[in-house]
Chain A
Amino acid sequence: MKYRMTVNDQTYEVEIIDLHASPVLVTVDGERFEVLPEMVELEIARPAPKPVNPQPRATPSNGGSSTPRNPNAIPAPIPGVIVSIAVKVGEVISVGQEVCILEAMKMKNVIRANRAGRIEDIKVSVGQQVRHSDVLMTVGTEVAL
Chain B
Amino acid sequence: MPRNDPRILELRALREKSRQGGGVQRIEKQHQKGKMTARERLSLLLDPGTFNELEPFITHQDPQAQSQGEKYLGEGVVTGYGQIEGRTVYVYAQDFTIFGGTLSEMQSHKICRVMDLALRNGVPIIGLIDSGGARIQDGVSSLAGYAEIFRRNAQYSGVIPQISLMLGPCAGGAAYSPALTDILIMVENTSFMFLTGPEVIKTVTGEVIDAEQLGGAYTHTAVSGVAHLATASENEALAMCRRVLSYLPSNNVENPPYYPPQDDPLRMEPQLNEIVPLDSTTPYHMHEVIDLIVDERSFLELQPHWGQNAITGFARIGGHSVGIVAQEPTSMAGVIDIDASDKMTRFVRMCDCFNVPIVTFVDSPGFLPGVDQEHRGIIRHGAKLLYGYSEATVPKICVITRKAYGGAYVVMSSKYLGTDITYAWPSAEVAVMGPEGAVGIIYKGQIEKAADPAAERQRLLDEYRRKWNNPYQAAGAGYVDDVIEPSETRPKIIAALAALRDKYAPNPPRKHGNMPV
Interface residues in chain A, defined as those with a beta carbon under 8 Å from any beta carbon in chain B: 39, 42, 50-51, 54-66, 77-79, 103-110, 131-132
Question: Taking A106-B280, A106-B281, A131-B370 as contacts, is the C-beta distance between A64 and B203 under 8 angstroms?
Answer: no
A54 contacts B330, C-beta separation under 8 Å: no
Evaluate contact between A79 and B369: CB separation under 8 angstroms.
yes
A64-B339, A106-B365 known; A57 and B280 CB under 8 Å? no
Are A78 and B203 closer than 8 Å at their CB atoms?
Answer: no
Residue ID in chain B nearest A80 by CB atoms: B333
CB-defined A-B contacts under 8 Å, sample of 20: A50-B203, A54-B205, A54-B206, A55-B206, A56-B206, A56-B207, A58-B207, A60-B209, A60-B213, A63-B223, A64-B337, A65-B372, A79-B369, A105-B332, A106-B281, A106-B365, A107-B281, A107-B334, A108-B283, A109-B283
Q: Check A57 against B281 for contact (C-beta < 8 Å).
A: no
Cβ of B204 within 8 Å of any chain A Cβ, yes or no, is: yes
Minimum CB–CB distance from B287 to chain A (whole Å) comes to 15
* Contact A39–B214 (Cβ < 8 Å): no
Q: Given A39-B203, A60-B213, A105-B366, does the pair A110, B208 have CB atoms closer than 8 Å? A: no
Q: Are B332 and A79 in contact (CB under 8 A)?
A: no
| B166-221 CB contacts (< 8 Å) to partner A | 202-209, 213-214, 219
B207 lies within 8 A of A64 (CB): no
* Bound: A42/B202 CA distance, A: 14
* B338: interface (CB < 8 Å): yes
Lowest 3 A-B CB distances belong to which pairs? A54-B206, A107-B333, A105-B333
Asked, given contacts A39-B203, A57-B205, A132-B370, whether A105 binds B223 with beta carbons under 8 Å apart, the answer is: no
Question: Smallest Cβ distance from A59 to chain B, in angstroms?
Answer: 7
The total of interchain contacts (Cβ-Cβ below 8 angstroms) comes to 81
Inter-chain contact A60/B204, CB cutoff 8 Å: no
Q: How far is the CA of A106 from the CA of B207 in the complex (A)?
A: 39
What is the bound-complex CA distance between A42 and B280, given in angstroms? 53
Report the separation of the CA atoms of residues A108 and B209 in the bound assembly, to the nearest whole angstrom: 36
CB <8 Å contact, B338 and A107: no
Residue ranges of B at the interface with A (Cβ–Cβ < 8 Å): 202-209, 213-214, 219, 222-223, 280-283, 329-335, 337-339, 365-366, 368-370, 372, 403, 405, 434, 436
Q: In the bound complex, what is the Cα–Cα distance between A142 and B208 (angstroms)?
A: 24
For A78, A103, A105, A131, the residue with the greatest tally of chain B CB atoms inside 10 Å of its CB is: A105
Give the residue name and chain of the A residue nearest to B434 (CB): A106
| Cβ distance B468 to chain A, nearest Cβ, rounded Å | 13
Q: Give bound CA distance, A16 to B209, whole Å.
A: 29
User: When chains A and B are docked, how far (Å) is the Cα of A83 from the Cα of B190?
Assistant: 43
Taking a contact as CB atoms under 8 Å apart, the answer to whether B207 and A103 are in contact is no
Question: Inside 8 A of A58's CB, which chain B residues have their CB?
Answer: 207
**How near does chain B come to A74, taking the closest CB pair, in angstroms?**
14
CB-CB under 8 A for A64 and B368, given A78-B332, A106-B280, A107-B281: no
Across-interface contacts of B370 in A (CB, < 8 A): 79, 131-132
CA separation between A56 and B403, bound complex, in Å?
45
Report the bound CA distance from A130 to B429 in whole Å.
Answer: 26
CA distance A132 to B489 in the complex (A): 36
Determine whether the beta carbon of B332 is less than 8 Å from that of A60: no
**Contacting residues, chain A, for B372 (C-beta < 8 A):** 65-66, 132
Q: Which residues of A contact B405 (CB under 8 A)?
A: 106
Question: Is the Cβ of A104 less than 8 Å from the Cβ of B213?
Answer: no
Complex: chain A residue closest to B283, CB-CB: A107
Which of chain B's residues has its CB closest to A51's CB? Answer: B206
In Å, the complex CA distance between A110 and B208 comes to 34
Q: Within 8 Å CB of B434, what residues of A?
A: 106
- Beta-carbon nearest neighbor of B205 in chain A: A57
Give Cα A28–Cα B123 distance, bound, in whole angstroms.
Answer: 57
**CA of A51 to CA of B329 in the docked complex: distance in angstroms?**
47
Q: Is the CB of B332 within 8 A of A109?
A: yes
- Chain B residues near A61: list those with CB within 8 A: 223
Q: In the complex, A61→B330 CA distance in Å?
A: 22
Tell me the nearest residue of chain B to A78, going by C-beta.
Answer: B332
Inside 8 A of A109's CB, which chain B residues have their CB?
Answer: 283, 330, 332-333
Which of A77, A106, A108 lies in contact with B332, CB distance below 8 A? A77
In the complex the two chains form, is A59's CB within 8 Å of B203's CB? no
A78 & B335 in contact (Cβ 8 Å cutoff): yes
Q: Are A39 and B333 in touch, CB under 8 angstroms?
A: no
Question: What is the distance, in angstroms, from B391's C-beta to the closest C-beta of chain A?
Answer: 26
Contact flag A56-B283 (CB < 8 Å), given A78-B333, A106-B365: no
- Assembly CA distance A105 to B337 (angstroms): 12
Q: A78-B332, A105-B365, A131-B370 are in contact. Are A42 and B214 (CB under 8 A)?
A: no
B209 touches A59 (CB 8 A): yes
Chain A positions within 8 Å of B208 at CB level: 56-57
Closest Cβ–Cβ distance, residue B440 to chain A (whole Å):
13
User: Hey, which chain A residues are within 8 Å of B403, CB to CB?
Assistant: 106
Contacts of A77 in B (CB 8 A): 331-332
Chain B residues within 8 Å of A64, by CB = 223, 337-339
Q: A64-B338, A78-B333, A132-B372 are known contacts. Are A108 and B282 too (CB-CB below 8 A)?
A: yes
Q: How far is the CA of A39 from the CA of B206 in the complex (A)?
A: 13
Q: Nearest Cβ in chain B — how far from A64, in angstroms?
A: 5
Contacts of A110 in B (CB 8 A): 283, 330
Query: Nearest CB to that of A63 among chain B residues?
Result: B223
Contacts of B203 in A (CB 8 A): 39, 50, 54
Contact between A104 and B223, CB atoms less than 8 A apart: no
Complex formed: what's the CA distance from A104 to B202 in Å? Answer: 39
Whether the pair B281, A62 counts as a contact (CB closer than 8 A) is: no
